[in-house]
Chains A and B, each alone.
Chain A
Amino acid sequence: MNYLLKKTALVGALLLGVSFQASAAEPILVGISITQSPPGSVVQGVQIKDALEIYRDLVNAKGGVLGRPIQLVFEDSQGLPEKGRSAVEKLITKDKVVAIAGSHQSSVCLSEIEVAHRYQIPYVNTNCWADSVREKGYPEVFNTSPYNSVVAKSMAATLKAMKVKRVVAFAENTDYGIGLAKGLGTALKAAAPNVDYKFETLDRSSKDFTPAILTLKANPPDVVVLTMLPPAAYIALNQLYEQGVAPTAKTIVYDGAGMADYPDFWQNVKEAGKYLMTIGMYHPEMNQTDLSRQIAVAYKRKTGNDPNRLIFQAVDSLVVVVDSIRQAKSTDPEKMLAAMGTGKFEGARGTMTFDSHQGGTYHQWVDIPYVNYQLTAVNQAVGNTTLLQGPGMPLNIGKLQYPK
């Protein structure tokens, strides 16, 4: 009798232990849809992947969430809306992830949020700037990404402070490029109505923009705005320099895509990048949080590069996913969404909350910090650039330099 009792107790304990182990070890799956092969921007995809892995390791080192480790499931969207859609479908229906994050191209985002909305799974937008992603008003979508309207407003304010008369923008033929260019036009009309502004749409797969640039040569504008992504943006910048259109004593280039902190920026533009004025989502002089410091160190160790805004955007989107699980104390999608809607999240860039007004700021972290700065030397690290506008500070346009 004693022996039987002991055996039962032992088996019982073993089973309890095993089941406890199993549930304790069962990871929480988060689906990540990024570009890992052409024709999308693989460079962005790689940065986001690195950042997410760093944060995941940080979370798991502290014991994970609800006692469970976080596991990232990566899918390749190739930068194509159709592939993105099927990637997110696979993640939701086959891998049974609790949330989706990582997306970094607006047209892909737009098709992916449809799937997330259909299955009512939380979707955190990492880097899709287009207003249309927010305007859809899907309750599952939360945006830690910069958004076109805030970028447009900031750029318009900068242009107003520069007291320019003529602005020409080159936009890439995508939702982001044209959306931002149009948004800038609207913001400019409100802020500084007597500025002559027009934009040209360029094919982002083209390798030669010289004809468009040559038309500016006879009568160069005061500012050339770029709303293009690499590699077309690099080519445009190089050719503006080559033709002597900008930067000159009269004309400055103003970048609205934040490419200056890409790891391959300087190797692609060299001399042409000097004097580039840019809006930036990250600058070392911004308020650092403990998290951002940790991430910066880990990222430098992992890749040898300084961090940039894409890294922090990626980390922040995973922060929202992980912390919403923590705050909701569950991985149930409805509870997670409720937590995201009302909660506060301590991210790498600051404290995040999400707006609830319908329209272009729906579920957007409205107070995303940004700066405006200017590159003043070739191969300059972001930390050494001239800060024209610190986070939350007024614009100090006097610091802007022009070439002789």
Chain B
Amino acid sequence: MPLFFDLTINGLIMGLFYALMAVGLAMIFGILRIVNFAHGEFFMVGAYAYALTAMKLGINPWFALILAAVSGAFLGVAIEKLLMRPLYQGYASWSIVKDEYAVVVTFALSLFLIHFVDKVIGPSPFMGPSLVSTQRIAIGPIMLNGQKIIAAGISISLLCGLALFIKKSLWGRQIQAVAQNRFGSSLAGIDPVKTTSIIFAISGMLAALSGALLAPIMNPAPDIGSFPALKSFIIVVLGGIGSIWGSMFAALLLGVSESFFAVYISYDYRDAFGLFILVAVLIFRPHGLAGQKGRGA
């Protein structure tokens, strides 16, 4: 019984981290219907920005966290402006190669970032500075890492904050509008290009923040991006297009079921498990767990 409890708690915590990683991708997915293969690299950039400013420049880790978030947002906007514009602005005949373009360009970007960081900063993995110094703390029967607790807490607040932002704020509602109907929203006076920029900024910021929060836990190296990227892809599809709540739920589910799968079936295939789920869901429920039907999956 205690093992069951342990696995569930651990799974939920991992799920929270997955959710923070994936939600940004879900937003881009929802608005542009493209897969951003460089999503994992935002995570990596955030982790590196956090660790470098905190360790090399000696800045307070909390402040470094904010710096990481800002750099993520900045990178997101830059990517959108330089690489993503052709997808929806002025290149009508792009439609045939739209998906290929997005994949090629984001894949190349991911390759570029990984090897650039590897060359400029170095290939060694490192452990980012913790926000608190307790490496382990007992909460009831569960042993937790202090950093994990804080990261979980920040994740929850960010996710709730994001949900509120999308639902209530002006920009949030603009985002909803553009996601539903790009052309229609422009008729209503919303600038879809600016809104897309905002979405990329948020996506980059969240991914970078999750990288920064997990830097003390996952010992990042330049190639750490593939791990959050694959998880995010799985979660975004599981959660269904256009549904942030769906993604969060899918993330938690993935975290918990991975833990149980690892123990009861195979440690080795623990990461492949999510991929199995992905394929299964796409076969039987192509709109994901909570997506809207009839959106032209």
Residues of A participating in the B interface, judged by any CB pair closer than 8 Å: 37-39, 42-43, 46, 173, 200-203, 205-212, 214-215, 217-218, 230-231, 234-235, 238, 241-244, 263-264, 267-272
**A211, B270: Cβ atoms closer than 8 Å:** yes
From B95-103, B117-125, B179-187, give the one contacting chain A: B117-125
| Residue in B2, B138, B268 whose beta carbon sits within 8 Å of that of A203 in the complex | B268
**B118, A242: Cβ atoms closer than 8 Å:** no
With A42-B123, A268-B219 already in contact, the answer to whether A211 and B10 are too (CB < 8 A) is: yes
**A205, B271: Cβ atoms closer than 8 Å:** yes
Measured CB to CB, the closest approach of chain A to B268, in angstroms, equals: 5
| Residue in B10, B114, B118, B268 whose beta carbon sits within 8 Å of that of A210 in the complex | B10
Tell me, yes or no, whether B53 is within 8 Å of chain A by CB. Answer: no
Which chain B residues numbered 208 to 251 have a C-beta less than 8 Å away from chain A? Answer: 217-219, 221-224, 226-227
Task: Find the residue from B127, B144, B148, B258 having the highest chain A CB count within 10 A.
Answer: B127
| Residue in A201, A234, A242, A263 whose beta carbon sits within 8 Å of that of B219 in the complex | A234
| Residue in A43, A218, A272 whose beta carbon sits within 8 Å of that of B3 in the complex | A218
With A38-B223, A267-B127 already in contact, the answer to whether A201 and B144 are too (CB < 8 A) is: no
**B259, A210: Cβ atoms closer than 8 Å:** yes
With A201-B267, A202-B267, A242-B145 already in contact, the answer to whether A42 and B118 are too (CB < 8 A) is: yes
With A42-B118, A235-B218 already in contact, the answer to whether A217 and B259 are too (CB < 8 A) is: no
**B267, A211: Cβ atoms closer than 8 Å:** yes
Q: What's the Cα separation between A268 and B126 when bound, in Å? A: 5
Q: What's the Cα separation between A234 and B220 when bound, in Å? A: 11
Measured CB to CB, the closest approach of chain B to A352, in angstroms, equals: 30
**B2, A231: Cβ atoms closer than 8 Å:** no
| Residue in B10, B136, B269 whose beta carbon sits within 8 Å of that of A244 in the complex | B136
Measured CB to CB, the closest approach of chain B to A306, in angstroms, equals: 16
Tell me, yes or no, whether B157 is within 8 Å of chain A by CB. Answer: no
Residues of B participating in the A interface, judged by any CB pair closer than 8 Å: 2-3, 6-7, 10, 14, 114-115, 118, 123-127, 135-136, 138, 143-145, 148, 217-219, 221-224, 226-227, 258-260, 262-263, 267-271
| Residue in A38, A46, A215, A272 whose beta carbon sits within 8 Å of that of B222 in the complex | A38
Which residues of the other chain, B, contact A242 by a CB distance below 8 angstroms?
135-136, 143-145, 148
- Sample 26 A-B pairs with CB under 8 A, ordered by A number: A37-B118, A37-B123, A38-B123, A42-B118, A201-B267, A201-B268, A203-B267, A203-B271, A205-B226, A205-B271, A206-B271, A207-B227, A208-B218, A210-B14, A211-B259, A214-B10, A217-B3, A217-B6, A231-B125, A231-B221, A234-B127, A234-B219, A242-B144, A264-B125, A268-B127, A270-B127
With A214-B3, A242-B136 already in contact, the answer to whether A43 and B127 are too (CB < 8 A) is: no
Task: Find the residue from A37, A210, A270 having the highest chain B CB count within 10 A.
Answer: A210
| Residue in B2, B145, B263 whose beta carbon sits within 8 Å of that of A211 in the complex | B263
Which residues of the other chain, A, contact B218 by a CB distance below 8 angstroms?
207-208, 235
**A38, B114: Cβ atoms closer than 8 Å:** yes
**A235, B219: Cβ atoms closer than 8 Å:** yes
**A43, B271: Cβ atoms closer than 8 Å:** no
**A211, B7: Cβ atoms closer than 8 Å:** yes
Q: What's the Cα separation between A182 and B262 when bound, in Å? A: 21
Q: Which of chain B's residues has its CB closest to A237's CB? A: B219
Which residues of the other chain, B, contact A231 by a CB distance below 8 angstroms?
125, 219, 221
Which residues of the other chain, A, contact B127 by a CB distance below 8 angstroms?
234, 238, 267-270
Measured CB to CB, the closest approach of chain A to B134, in angstroms, equals: 10
Which residues of the other chain, B, contact A38 by a CB distance below 8 angstroms?
114-115, 118, 123, 221-223
**A212, B267: Cβ atoms closer than 8 Å:** yes
Measured CB to CB, the closest approach of chain B to A44, in angstroms, equals: 10
Q: Top 9 nearest A-B pairs by Cβ distance? A: A42-B123, A231-B125, A211-B262, A38-B223, A264-B124, A242-B145, A211-B259, A207-B218, A268-B127
Which residues of the other chain, A, contact B114 by a CB distance below 8 angstroms?
38
Measured CB to CB, the closest approach of chain B to A327, in angstroms, equals: 37
Which residues of the other chain, A, contact B224 by a CB distance below 8 angstroms?
207
Q: What's the Cα separation between A233 and B123 when bound, in Å? A: 16
Which residues of the other chain, B, contact A235 by a CB distance below 8 angstroms?
218-219
With A207-B218, A214-B6 already in contact, the answer to whether A200 and B123 are too (CB < 8 A) is: no
**A203, B270: Cβ atoms closer than 8 Å:** yes
Q: What's the Cα separation between A210 and B10 when bound, in Å? A: 8
Which residues of the other chain, A, contact B143 by a CB distance below 8 angstroms?
242-244
Q: What's the Cα separation between A203 and B148 when bound, in Å? A: 22
Which residues of the other chain, A, contact B124 by a CB distance below 8 angstroms?
42-43, 263-264
Q: Which of chain B's residues has its CB closest to A173's CB? A: B268
| Residue in A200, A243, A270 whose beta carbon sits within 8 Å of that of B267 in the complex | A200
Q: What's the Cα separation between A146 and B3 when bound, in Å? A: 39
Task: Find the residue from A205, A231, A272 having the highest chain B CB count within 10 A.
Answer: A231
Q: Which of chain B's residues has its CB closest to A230's CB? A: B125
**B10, A241: Cβ atoms closer than 8 Å:** no
Q: What's the Cα separation between A234 and B217 when bound, in Å? A: 10
Which residues of the other chain, A, contact B263 by a CB distance below 8 angstroms?
211-212, 214-215
Measured CB to CB, the closest approach of chain A to B211, in angstroms, equals: 12
Measured CB to CB, the closest approach of chain B to A188, in angstroms, equals: 21
Q: Which of chain A's residues has its CB closest to B222's CB? A: A38
With A202-B268, A211-B267, A242-B145 already in contact, the answer to whether A267 and B126 are too (CB < 8 A) is: yes
Q: Which of chain A's residues has its CB closest to B114's CB? A: A38
Q: What's the Cα separation between A37 and B260 when bound, in Å? A: 34
Q: What's the Cα separation between A235 and B263 when bound, in Å? A: 18
Q: What's the Cα separation between A270 and B126 when bound, in Å? A: 11
**A206, B3: Cβ atoms closer than 8 Å:** no
Q: What's the Cα separation between A222 and B31 when bound, in Å? A: 54
Q: What's the Cα separation between A206 and B127 when bound, in Å? A: 16
**B125, A218: Cβ atoms closer than 8 Å:** no
**B135, A272: Cβ atoms closer than 8 Å:** yes
